[in-house]
């Protein structure tokens, strides 16, 4: 056919490779052996040395998990009460409200700012003021006649926790209050009322500052007198400001077991330590009894 067509050399025929059947069989046998040894662990001495260079002693010397501690009568009763409260079916009111609870020594320096924050949202919030030193002078109609019975509050003393519980008790009287926010006189809102309201109501959870502090101002404040109710590994710290759901507020008010431990053994000068009850009581209580989120970004808290 002329020189225009180029002929390719014919392909050479290679003999078919033999499949390494014996390798596949060996790998399968080893895999089966290991699987069986995992499902049916060895009990004999020889088998132990096959699977561990340390022999059976390495297996028998493993520490057994410590048995759960038997609860005291107080702990058992407390656990039952908390369980029942937390399992109460939530009744959604027609108009859910946020209880804004102000813990202040006297007048609120940012009351005008809070007035602008609340304006136009009547029926969605309640205001409660605990003034521990002087009768506040109000400039906003939302704060008029909103003081509750107050008592003296000492920094670092259980009286600070008592004031928080007093505010919760008054706020719980209104069945429409579903979220309870504890604020100081130096707190200001960072977002609009609608943002705060929607965030808290739709989150359906509590927000508590809670963290592990291994230093002298954390675990160093723990007292062994709190045993067996509060163990050192569960001792937590956090800022006292919070936002908690109604069920969690009820649990706090129902608690006497943990509260009494912090009242008696978490105070300045006890055991040569300076334990601050309001920095440890609720963080420890919620860490042990209730799972909560520990993020709190809605309000600016001036703690200095």
Q: What share of the chain is helix, strand, coil (3-state, %, to 5)?
A: 40, 15, 45
Answer yes or no: do 139 and 167 share one domain.
yes
Answer yes or no: do 33 and 152 share one domain.
no
Answer yes or no: do 32 and 102 share one domain.
no
- pTM (predicted TM-score): 0.72
Q: Please give the DSSP secondary-structure letter assigned to residue 130.
A: E
Q: What token pair was written down for 95?
A: 């108009």
Domains: count for the chain? 2
Answer yes or no: do 101 and 209 share one domain.
yes
Q: Which domain holds residue 264?
A: 73-300
Q: 33-54: b or e for each residue (b if 16 or more CB lie within 10 Å)?
A: eeeeeeeeeeeeeeebeeeeee
Closest by CA position to 242, among listed 163, 182, 152, 156:
182
Please report whether residue 16 resides in a domain.
no
* 94-104 confidence digits (pLDDT tens): 889 999 999 99
Torsions phi, psi of 184, nearest 5?
-100, 175
Please report whether residue 63 resides in a domain.
no
Please report whether residue 6 resides in a domain.
no
Span 268-281, average pLDDT: 92
Asked which of 34, 58, 82 is the last residue of a domain, the reply is: 58
* 218-237 confidence digits (pLDDT tens): 999 999 999 999 999 999 99
* 283-304 confidence digits (pLDDT tens): 999 998 875 444 444 444 443 3
Please report whether residue 278 resides in a domain.
yes
Distance between CA atoms of 70 and 82, rounded to whole angstroms? 18
Please report whether residue 201 resides in a domain.
yes
* 50-107 confidence digits (pLDDT tens): 444 454 554 445 555 555 667 776 776 667 776 767 777 777 788 899 999 999 999 9
Provide the pLDDT for residue 291: 58
Answer yes or no: do 138 and 270 share one domain.
yes
Residue 176 or residue 204, greater confidence: 176
Which runs of E-coded beta strand occur in 105-192? 125-131, 177-184, 188-189
Please report whether residue 78 resides in a domain.
yes
Answer yes or no: do 28 and 114 share one domain.
no
């Amino acid at each position: 056919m002329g020189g225009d067509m180029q002929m390719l050399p014919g392909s050479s025929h290679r003999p078919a490779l033999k499949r390494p059947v014996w390798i596949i069989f060996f790998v399968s046998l080893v895999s089966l052996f290991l699987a069986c040894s995992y499902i049916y662990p060895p009990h004999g001495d020889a088998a132990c040395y096959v699977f561990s260079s340390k022999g059976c002693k390495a297996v028998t010397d493993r520490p057994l998990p410590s048995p759960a501690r038997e609860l005291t009568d107080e702990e058992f009763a407390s656990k039952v009460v908390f369980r029942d409260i937390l399992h109460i079916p939530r009744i959604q009111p027609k108009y859910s409200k946020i209880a804004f609870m102000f813990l202040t020594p006297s007048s609120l320096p940012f009351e005008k700012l809070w007035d602008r924050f609340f304006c136009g949202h009547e029926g969605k919030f309640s205001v409660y003021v605990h003034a521990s030193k002087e009768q506040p002078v109000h400039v906003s109609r939302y704060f008029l006649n909103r003081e509750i019975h107050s008592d003296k509050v000492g920094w670092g003393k259980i009286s600070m926790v008592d004031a928080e519980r007093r505010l919760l008790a008054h706020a719980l009287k209104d069945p429409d209050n579903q979220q309870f926010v504890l604020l100081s006189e130096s707190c200001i809102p960072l977002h609009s009322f609608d943002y705060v309201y929607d965030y808290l109501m739709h989150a359906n959870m509590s927000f508590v500052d809670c963290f592990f502090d291994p230093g002298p101002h954390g675990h160093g404040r723990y007292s062994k007198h709190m045993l067996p109710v509060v163990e050192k590994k569960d001792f937590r710290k956090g800022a006292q400001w919070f936002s908690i759901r109604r069920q969690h507020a009820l649990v706090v008010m129902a608690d006497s077991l943990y509260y009494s431990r912090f009242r008696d053994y978490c105070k300045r000068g006890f055991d040569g330590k300076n334990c601050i009850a309001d920095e440890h009581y609720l963080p420890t209580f919620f860490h042990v009894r209730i799972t909560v989120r520990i993020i709190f970004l809605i309000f600016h808290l001036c703690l200095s």
